[in-house]
Amino acid sequence: MLLSEKLSPHLLEIERTARERMDALLPRMMEVAGVTEELKARDPMRWVGLMNTLKAQAEEVILQELVYI
């Protein structure tokens, strides 16, 4: 792919798709987990911990769907 100059466009498309998937997946995961702005104001450390966990889970799902297939 590199020699045929198709690698860069392919990688850009994968990145775009991954960002779109993250933008769609993370809010739904936050809703299910109960991660709200109220929690952020009341217990910021717990909110950060939950957000880090959810982001890692979403990234793993995206990697499974787009990269490791």
Model confidence over 13-49: pLDDT tens digits? Answer: 999 999 999 999 999 999 999 999 999 999 999 999 9
From the DSSP assignment, how many helices (H) and strands (E) are in the chain?
A: 3, 0
With contact defined as beta carbons under 8 Å apart, do 25 and 55 qualify? no
Q: Binning pLDDT at 50, 70 and 90, where does residue 4 land?
A: confident
Instruction: Note the pTM of the prediction, 2 decimals.
Output: 0.84
* Closest listed residue to residue 30, CA positions, set 45, 44, 51, 49: 51
Domain chopping of the chain, boundaries:
7-66
Q: Is the pLDDT of residue 2 over 70?
A: no
